[in-house]
Amino acid sequence: MGSTPAMIIELAKLKFSYPEQADSLVLDIPSWSLPIAEHTLIHGSSGSGKSTLLNILNGLLSVNSGHIEVLGQQLNEMTIRQRDNFRANSIGYVFQQFNLIGYLNAIDNVQLANYFSKSSEKSSVTEEIKALLNSLNIPKKDWQQPVHKLSIGQQQRIAIARALINKPALLIADEPTSALDEENSADFMALLMSIVDSSQTTLLFVSHDISLSRYFTRVESLHDINQAGAVNAD
């Protein structure tokens, strides 16, 4: 892939609409970029297009037109398989509901993220996972427990471990605190920011919660970025 570019994400003249509403633009972004190692919050109300934008950036959706460059790679010139491989190897993702498989244990849940990646020798992955779980202060006695038996705090840490196991240059978080109470949300944010600070990982975090602004070096409203005035887009 070569050296990491100064800009992790660069967008230009991006336009997107869903096929069933082809005449109604969801996203119309003239220009936007994300520098390396920056921690950015994009906030917006439900239906503003936040999740749609993230799905474009991780290659799950293709745009109508425009330039999308992530980690120096032009996503709009890739095949679906190429985008899938790129996402597995280069982007970590923390989901709104964590998306852990409840009957699997912590190690197996993290292992799933590595399954399609070429970032590590498979024989060494389990040891890397154990080291990561240990660094996140997950007790060894809990590593083999089905994750549905663990606390919300433990599940948060496992979700972060899964997002980081492939050592991504870019970490994307999609409303991961929306279902958490105030205490768990604060704990999650403190842990996440500590990790991305120490690893110098670029973080793109989207949320409707503007109170999270205090954790970020850069805060932007999707309304200011997106000229489409989208509705029903999340």
> pLDDT tens digits, residue range 32-50?
999 999 999 999 988 889 9
Q: Are 206 and 56 in contact (CB under 8 A)?
A: no
Confidence at 120, pLDDT banded by 50, 70, 90 = low
Q: What is the pLDDT of residue 40?
A: 97
3-state secondary structure of 67: strand
Give the pLDDT of residue 232: 45
CATH number, domain 37-62+91-225, options 3.40.50.300, 3.40.1710.10, 3.50.50.60, 1.10.1050.10:
3.40.50.300
Give phi and psi for 73, each to the nearest 5: -110, 135
Contact status, residue 4 vs residue 172, Cβ threshold 8 Å:
no
Question: Could you tell me which residues come within 8 angstroms of residue 196 by beta carbon, excluding any fewer than 6 positions away?
Answer: 39, 171, 202, 203
Coil, strand or helix: which one is 49?
coil
Single-letter amino acid code for the residue at 197: D
pTM given for the model: 0.85
Give the pLDDT of residue 229.
62
Q: Which residue in this structure is represented by tokens 């994400």? A: 9
Give the pLDDT band (50/70/90) at residue 178.
confident
- As a whole number of angstroms, the distance between CA 180 and CA 168 comes to 25
Q: What does the alpha-carbon distance between residue 99 and residue 20 come to, in Å, rounded to a whole number?
A: 27
* CB burial of residue 94 (10 Å; 0-12, 13-18, 19+): buried
Burial degree of 70 (CB within 10 A; 0-12, 13-18, 19+): buried
pLDDT value at residue 117: 65
Instruction: Calculate the CA 82 to chain-centre distance.
Output: 18
Summarize pLDDT for 61-107 with one digit per residue, the tens: 999 999 999 999 999 999 999 999 898 889 999 887 788 989 999 99
Q: What sign for the dihedral angle of Cα 161, 90, 7, 80?
A: negative
Confidence class of residue 116 from pLDDT cuts 50, 70 and 90? low
